[in-house]
Amino acid sequence: MVLEILVLVVVGCVVPATSIRCEGDTDLNDVQEYTQAVYNIGDLDFWRTAQMSFQTYGKFEGDPQGAVITAAYYTENDGLIFGVNIDCSKGKWSSQITHNETDEVTKYLTGDLNKACNDGDEFDIWLKIHQPRSMSWIFNGQPLQYETRPTYTRHGQTRVVRTRTLKIWTKYGSDMGDHFTVKSSGAAKLTRLSWGQCISWPRSMQENCQQARDWVSARSKKAVEEGGLRHFGSNWHTFAPQCFQGSKYYLWLQNFVHPDRNSRGFPWCCCVSMVTGEAATEDGDDLCSLGSYDGTCGRSCMEFADAEIVEKVMKENDEMENGLNL
């Protein structure tokens, strides 16, 4: 498996990407199989929480009716933790686990795809890990789970009931993860994989903040009636890209970048390009500092506010407002 991972890594290359502070973000150049090795999984001193995301991107080139896409998370010895299969011909999906008693790979949940696979379309598959046996798949913004369960905790003397996704009755928990593998066939080509305690969005939306924000929101825990996935979402809507005054340009200071293993549970404040949303860097490091959940940041990032873009957007907004007042 080590050799396989090393060989597969050669086909990808790290490029400037539509994500901030991911552990990895790799261009896959239209391959049909890729394995991403991970590290220190299960070590909460290293990661702080069990939460993790794998985001795979691809596209259909040609007739997708024979296309099948599979993605799965494995242990070091190739034991299946949790997998998913997308069958474009049948318009079906199914998830798989390793049975606790028989050690056999077993079908877990099945369902219909909300949308057919079409030539020219992009696709994305997300695996969101919440806890060692609380995981969920998302395909093209469709949650591949359909039931929830109550969990209980206490805040002081108060008993609190929370709604969570189903417990995954697989033999191996996500804390035993060693590598994530995605494969495709037919017209389905793989273009990119990002992973970590982070959020990413398609490169095709790199220069349109509103599209990127809406796309991330559609996969978030935002209420269903507001366009999100609620309990089946990947992350809170709070962490979606922020746009300058409703325009296609990114706000130069992103003050709610998703927390990661180095932020101690707090969001990051990052200086970004208003055009691409990419984090600004200094000496190879992202220009990010610890933020807070009230939105307060220790820096303004004003040096990354593009004066021409700011003037253009404000002028367009003024003209629109004046038009509405006529």
pTM value > 0.75: yes
Angle at 325 between CA 324 and CA 326, to 5 degrees: 95
Contact (CB, 8 A) for 254 and 269: yes
Vertex 153 angle, CA 149 and 157, to 5°? 145
Cα–Cα distance for residue pair 271/178, rounded to 1 Å? 33
Q: Which one-letter amino acid corresponds to residue 168? A: I
The alpha-carbon radius of gyration of the chain (Å, integer) is 21
Q: Which residue has the higher pLDDT, 154 or 50?
A: 50
β-partners of residue 50 are none
Question: Do the Cβ atoms of 172 and 166 come closer than 8 Å?
Answer: no
DSSP state of 223: -
Sign, CA torsion 252/213/217/205: negative
State pLDDT tens for residues 109-145: 999 999 999 999 999 999 999 999 999 999 999 999 9
Q: Indicate the pLDDT class of residue 322, thresholds 50, 70 and 90.
A: confident
For residue range 186-205, list pLDDT tens digits in order: 999 999 999 999 999 999 99
How far apart are alpha carbons 220 and 202 in whole angstroms? 15
Identify the burial level of 152 via C-beta atoms within 10 angstroms of its C-beta, where 0-12 means exposed, 13-18 middle and 19 or more buried: exposed
